[in-house]
Amino acid sequence: MNTAVASVGGLAGAPARPAPIAGWRQAALAQARARMIIGAMLFMALIAVLGLRLVDLAVLHEAPAGPRDLAAALIPERGDIVDRNGIELARSFEAFAITFEPFVRHKGPRKPGSDPRLLAQKLAAILTDRSAADIYADLIGGKEFRYIARRVLPWQAKAINDLGEPSIVLRREPQRLYPGLDLGAHAIGYTTSGTARAYGRSGMEKVLEARLSDPATRGTPVALAMDSRVQQALESELYAGMTKHRAAGAAGIVMDVQTGEVVAMASLPTFNPNAPGKLEPGPVADAGRPDARYNRATMAVYELGSTFKALTIAMALDSGVIKSMQQTFDARAPITIGGHTIHDDRGHELRKFATTPEIFIHSSNIGTARMASALGGERQRAYLDRLGFFKPVAVELAEKARPIYPAVSNWGEAAVMTVGFGHGVSVSPLHLATAYAALANGGILHPATMLKVQAGQAVPGTRVFSEATSDKLRALFRLVVTNGTGRKANTPGYRVGGKTGTAEKVVNGRYAHNQLVSTFAGAFPMDAPRYVVLAMLDEPHGTADTGGFATAGMVSAPIVEKLVARIGPLLGVMPDENKDVDIGGLLGLIADKQADE
């Protein structure tokens, strides 16, 4: 059709481009151009959007902090340690450290911007525990990196920063804070700080190193068995006793008899784990003494004297050597054996055939030696082995000593007798507390633990004595406190029972008559025992009110009396003067109803 029209037009004049075709082409071109412009605009818009978005992301937005990052930021560098009630005992924080770095920030050696002597004086004015001379020595020492001070207070850090000295650098480094200062220091332990993190060096800090530093577990605090209130009471009463009797040291333990949890453990003199290298000033700070970091409750082994007699009587009862409490043992005269003479302490001589209660409350060495002899060395060793007295005490702490005891070849009759009343075997106070818990709780030995035992958690235990033996020992323990050498431990209403033990220290292989270790170990309330308490003074001295005596009944028992009055209510033990252990039957077996302390 279009072709025909063009042919007709061609006949009329010169050949020309058909108008309709030209219009279409122009229209098509215009349309294509428009579409191209739209396409180009869209592309430009797209590029602009992308560009804007890039600017938005790069300039306006910070890197988003995800919830996981924030949660991770709140997890401490090292896990917290808390007591059994959730009170913090150790926690991490970022402290300021002041370093001198003349080489690091500036290429090549460079002296401080200001006069070193002047700078040292300015720093010493802020860091009051360092002298200007010390700091000056550090500044001119020529080392590339030097700590001027660590764990400085925020205001000190700000003041030093304001000095504007380029070679003095403020660093943040992880540090450990012990809010209770020296409270429970031996049990909690301490750390040393590296540039990246703190490392446990002693106590539970060392034991729990992996648990406290693992990112997967360090967010959850570790609960110790310790009750900080009981710990404070124990340390306070021990310190008072140690100061009064000018003792070289002291140790104390409060332990749950059913679980073996160490509710409190103290060793004096103590130290501040925030500055473990610095010794605490105190009445007993003395050259030649062990470092304050020395844990007397687990690292020291002592012959704990007459407190061992309870174990000998328990062994004799349990094995049938003592068939009834009326049974008597010959305590008429000292025993001479192996060149040694076993005699009773002056004022405690029985000079007769004595019943078990008499031997126990008068703390007769002769009577107990006779019992031990009847028991025999083999059974004695077997019981001591089951009580764990031949190996370091069963507790998580690494600071523990190996007990000292005679070799089997030397465990003859003389050794049997002397071990029976607490000589010849040296164990730690925690060994004794663990054994006393077994005597009081019905005869089951639970290993000591510094960690909190959760309700319903199984507690490992081994039966060492029968229930009947434990019942009889409980009555005997109570008898010692009501009528025996431990009367000064008798806290009204709390039915305390226990045994005193005074031993001479072995110095250079010989017994030193004027260097005693005075121990009271017991439990309360004796009608249904819940806690073992032990107080030991190392080298106490008598005072006017003790008549010059430094025996356990005079110096350690009063500590327990005051301690139980303080911790009883905290531990949920109600005092009751209408309740008590039935000791009527035992009293009938005692001729002299009151033993000297």
Partner 1 sequence: MIRIRTVLGGVATMAVMISCYSVSLMVSGERKAVDDLRLEIASNQRGIRTLQAEFRTRARPAELQRWNDEALGLQAASTLQLVRDPLQLAAFETRTPAAEVPRYAVAEAPKPAPAPVTTVAYRADADAIAPAAVAELVGNGEAHLTRVALR
Give the residue numbers marked as catalytic.
306
Interacting positions 555-594 with partner 1 (CB under 8 A): 565-566, 568-569, 574-578
From the list 68-76, 122-130, 451-459, 510-518, the region that binds partner 1 by CB under 8 A is 68-76
> Which residues on neighbouring strands pair with residue 531, listed in sequence order?
256, 524
- Residue nearer to partner 1 on the CB measure, 87 or 132: 87
Q: Which is nearer to partner 1, 545 or 577 (CB)?
A: 577
Decide if 302 contacts 423 (C-beta within 8 A): no
Q: Could you say which residues in the range 22-51 bind partner 1, by CB under 8 A?
A: 30-31, 34, 37-38, 41-42, 45, 49
Quick one: CA torsion of 4, 5, 9, 11, rounded to 10 degrees? Answer: 20
Which residue, 176 or 293, has its beta carbon nearer to partner 1? 176
Contact set for partner 1, span 467-496 (CB under 8 A): 492-493
Which position has the token pair 């063009």?
6
Restricted to residues 149-178, the positions that interact with partner 1 (CB under 8 A) are 177
Candidate ranges 56-64, 208-216, 252-260, 300-308; the one touching partner 1 (CB under 8 A):
56-64
Work out whether 61 is an interface residue with partner 1 (CB under 8 A): yes
| Cβ atoms within 10 Å of 114's Cβ, excluding its own | 16
Bridging pattern class, strands 88-100 and 168-177: antiparallel
Question: Site size for partner 1, by CB under 8 A?
Answer: 48
Q: Is 52 in the site for partner 1 (CB under 8 A)?
A: yes
Q: Does 56 bind partner 1 (CB under 8 A)?
A: yes
Rounded to a whole number of angstroms, the minimum distance from the CB of residue 123 to partner 1 is: 25
Q: How much of the chain is helix, strand and coil, in % rounded to 5?
A: 40, 20, 40
d(CA 337, CA 232): 46
Alpha-carbon span 276 to 234, nearest angstrom: 21
Sign of CA dihedral 476, 478, 483, 484: positive
Helix (H), strand (E) at residue 93: strand 88-100
Task: Compute the least distance from the CB of residue 47 to partner 1, in Å.
Answer: 12
Our CB check for partner 1 shows the closer of 182 and 539 to be 182
Least distance to partner 1, CB of residue 152, Å: 16
Distance of closest approach, residue 66 Cβ to partner 1, in angstroms: 9
Scanning the structure block, which residue is given the tokens 């409980």?
A: 474
Phi–psi pair at 100, nearest 5 degrees: -110, 115
Site membership for partner 1, residue 183 (CB under 8 A): yes
CB of 181 to partner 1, least distance (A): 6
Cβ-proximal residues to 220 (8 Å cutoff; 6+ apart), any chain: 79
The smaller minimum CB distance to partner 1, of residues 93 and 511, is found at: 93
Three-state DSSP class for residue 263: strand
Asked whether 91 and 190 are in contact (CB, 8 A), the reply is: no
Nearer to partner 1, 12 or 65 (CB): 65
Residues paired with 97 in a beta bridge: 150, 171
Question: Which of 420, 568 has the CB closer to partner 1?
Answer: 568
Helices (H), 101-188: 116-126, 132-139, 154-162, 185-188
| Residue 87 contacts partner 1 per CB under 8 A | yes
Please tell me whether residue 88 binds partner 1 under the rule CB under 8 A. Answer: yes
CB nearer partner 1, residue 228 or residue 485: 228
Q: Does 229 bind partner 1 (CB under 8 A)?
A: yes
Q: Which of residues 539-558 bind partner 1 (CB under 8 A)?
A: none
Question: Mask of contacts with partner 1, 235-274, x by CB under 8 A?
Answer: xx--------------------------------------
Enumerate residues 359-398 that contact partner 1 by CB under 8 A. Answer: none
Question: Which is closer to partner 1, CB of 13 or CB of 86?
Answer: 86
75 binding partner 1? (CB under 8 A) = no
Smallest separation (angstroms) from partner 1 to the CB of 182: 8
Q: Quick one: 11 exposed, middle or buried, by C-beta within 10 A (0-12, 13-18, 19+)? A: exposed
Which residues are bridge partners to 267 per DSSP?
A: 251
Main-chain phi, psi angles of 21, to 5 degrees: -65, -45
* DSSP structure class, residue 394: S
Residues contacting 483, CB < 8 A, separation 6+: 361, 587, 590, 593, 594, 595
Please report whether residue 232 would count as binding partner 1 according to CB under 8 A. yes
Those residues whose C-beta lies under 8 Å from the C-beta of residue 76, and which sit 6 or more positions away, are 91, 92, 218, 219
Residues near partner 1 (CB under 8 A) are 30-31, 34, 37-38, 41-42, 45, 49, 52, 56, 60-62, 64-65, 67, 70, 73-74, 76, 87-88, 91, 93, 177, 179-183, 228-229, 231-232, 235-236, 492-493, 565-566, 568-569, 574-578
